[in-house]
Amino acid sequence: KNQVEQSPQSLIILEGKNCTLQCNYTVSPFSNLRWYKQDTGRGPVSLTIMTFSENTKSNGRYTATLDADTKQSSLHITASQLSDSASYICVVANSGYSTLTFGKGTMLLVSP
Amino acid sequence: EAQVTQNPRYLITVTGKKLTVTCSQNMNHEYMSWYRQDPGLGLRQIYYSMNVEVTDKGDVPEGYKVSRKEKRNFPLILESPSPNQTSLYFCASSPHGNNYGYTFGSGTRLTVV
């Protein structure tokens, strides 16, 4: 069964600090892995999308890594800001049209 | 501005009263999909559409209907809503399936009493 597991479930950090969120998956056949940021009550917004051949991708202060051999990904946030407080969702796509497997998200709270 | 527009943003209704949540995208995307999001469960796919007149069930289709008569619109229909359909709903679109990023709408918070 395709699964995406994220850790930690929630995280509190001080403004200006860095943090790393983890994602492990068992989706096959693998097509790509995405990280989304979701503010409370709003739609998810794409941060990065990586295919099998990519092992790192950045979007401003967000850097995602992918290890396709161990089926792990991480999202590193640098110099956190209050506006980074949100849920971060790891999503893995298999080849084809229909199937995205969503993680349950990591809730990040950046405290002043 | 490229976007996915859902309406309404909030809706409170009574059990059994048919309702439709609209979704429209202005990006000429072929692929559209509906999700529901519940606490502790993450996003779950309800229905998806690969193109006009082509729809298929996702993981949790029971109690829902969809139609795709034109490329830009993908309404979600609840023929007889029940309280277990109280949820946050998102519409999403993509140029062409899973190889591209999805654009999500802002969500519709539905409460069925």
Mind listing the pLDDT tens digit of every residue in chain A (112 residues)? 889 999 999 999 999 999 999 999 998 888 899 999 999 989 999 999 999 889 999 999 999 999 999 999 999 999 999 999 999 999 998 876 567 889 999 999 999 9
Residue-level pLDDT at A26: 93
Does B99 have pLDDT greater than 70?
no
CB A108 within 8 A of CB B107: no
Collect all residues from A whose CB is shorter than 8 A from any CB in B.
Answer: 31-32, 34, 36, 41-46, 49, 89, 93-100, 102-105
Gap between the Cα atoms of A8 and A21, Å rounded: 7
Mind listing the pLDDT tens digit for each residue in B19-49? 999 999 999 999 999 999 998 888 999 999 9
Residue-level pLDDT at A28: 83
Residue-level pLDDT at B106: 94
* pLDDT mean over B42-58: 93
Residue-level pLDDT at A73: 98
Q: Find, among A60, A63, A86, A58, the residue nearest to A74 by Cα.
A: A63
φ, ψ of residue B72 in degrees (nearest 5) = -80, -20
Residue-level pLDDT at A109: 98
**Neighboring chain A residues of B21 at a CB cutoff of 8 Å:** none
Residue-level pLDDT at B40: 85
Residue-level pLDDT at A29: 85
Q: Which of B99, B106, B108, B111 to mutate to test the interface with A (most CBs of A within 10 A)?
A: B99
Residue-level pLDDT at B98: 66
**Neighboring chain A residues of B9 at a CB cutoff of 8 Å:** none
Q: Please name the residue that has the structure tokens 């890594």.
A: A65
Return the bridge partners of A22, or none.
A7, A74
User: Any chain A CB within 8 A of the CB of B56?
Assistant: yes
**Neighboring chain B residues of A104 at a CB cutoff of 8 Å:** 40-42
Residue-level pLDDT at A97: 55
| Contact (CB<8Å) B42/A102 | yes
* pLDDT mean over B71-83: 97
Residue-level pLDDT at B107: 96
B102: closest CA of chain A, how far (Å): 7
Beta strand B108-112 with B10-13: parallel, antiparallel or unpaired? parallel
